[in-house]
Amino acid sequence: MTDHEKSIYIIDMFGISAEKIAEIVGKSQSTVYDKLRQRKSNKFITDDFNKLKSYCLSSLKSISEL
């Protein structure tokens, strides 16, 4: 799987909104929409994937500590 495919998998699995994705990866919402739709060859890169992964893992850690 590419980093783009992994990112899409995480987004789908956790149901993360485009607004939240933009906040996590530090990009504008329009850029995130382009990446989600792969417009203009925009794709999620390794840095985006790592930020999404870290966000989800920290969320899961918070849940496990309840």
Please, what's the largest Cα pairwise distance for the chain? 43
Query: Which of 27, 24, 26 minimizes the C-alpha distance to 53?
Result: 24
Instruction: Give the DSSP letter of residue 38.
Output: T
pLDDT in tens, 11-44: 999 999 999 999 999 999 999 999 999 987 899 9
Residue 25 CB coordination number (10 Å): 21
- Confirm if 10 and 52 have CB atoms less than 8 A apart: yes
The structure's pTM equals 0.88
Residue 56 has pLDDT above 90, yes or no: yes
Radius of gyration of the chain (CA): 12
